[in-house]
Amino acid sequence: MMIETEGLLLREMTEDDFDALYRILGDADTMRYYSSAFNETGVKSWIARNIERYRIFGFGLWAVCLKETGEVIGDCGLTMQLIDGQIKPEIGYHIRADKQRNGYAREAAIAVRDWTFCNTPFCVIYSYMKSSNVPSIQTAISYGCKQVDEFADAVNGMTKVFAVSRDAWISLGMPMQNT
């Protein structure tokens, strides 16, 4: 599976992506909205969990690579997440600190949104995050989401939930084709 955008390639992550993903997920600044940065075991588990998602669902978080060089600069994809007590399809994203603020999360999330509406039956896609995670909120809004909920939880304190519907996506004039 590969998704191509103007500047990025999204592909299934492999165990060979460990070093690049550890640089992202092990970075305290990048992971400041999580309980902590990941250690080596956590990154290996992250990769294994996504490989299992590909097998079970046909999707998961994908490696985000610069098209020009193939360098892995993050992850972005579709996962099934427990959001306020319900399992929902969610677009998540992490971009390496030195590559943030270049539009890569937005570009990747738009590609995942389009792929999801072209290749799955989901009528709504969500992104959720700690309410203080302004960069993630801005990314969700930039790929077409609107805030649909906010709730208290044990992990995040306050969590904000954003969503975009298939109907809203179609109203943007998006093509309905498989990619």
Task: Check the CA dihedral 105-6-116-1 and report its sign.
Answer: negative
The residue count of the chain comes to 179
Q: What is the mean pLDDT of each run of 10 residues along the chain (179 residues)?
A: 96 98 95 91 97 97 98 98 96 96 97 97 97 95 96 88 96 61
Q: What is the pLDDT of residue 176?
A: 53
Q: Which domains are assigned to the chain?
A: 2-171 (3.40.630.30)
Q: What is the pLDDT of residue 178?
A: 44
Q: What is the pLDDT of residue 154?
A: 83
Place of tokens 């960069």: 135
Q: What is the pLDDT of residue 179?
A: 42
Residue 146 · residue 162 · CB < 8 Å = yes
Task: Determine the 3-state secondary structure of 119 from DSSP.
Answer: helix
In the chain, DSSP assigns E strands to 2-4, 8-12, 61-66, 72-83, 86-95, 124-130, 146-153, 157-165
pTM for this prediction: 0.93
Residue 43 · residue 22 · CB < 8 Å = yes
Tell me how far CA of residue 13 lies from CA of 77, 91, 111, 160, in angstroms.
11, 16, 16, 28
Residue 91 · residue 116 · CB < 8 Å = yes
Q: What angle do CA 8, 10, 16 make, to 5 degrees?
A: 115
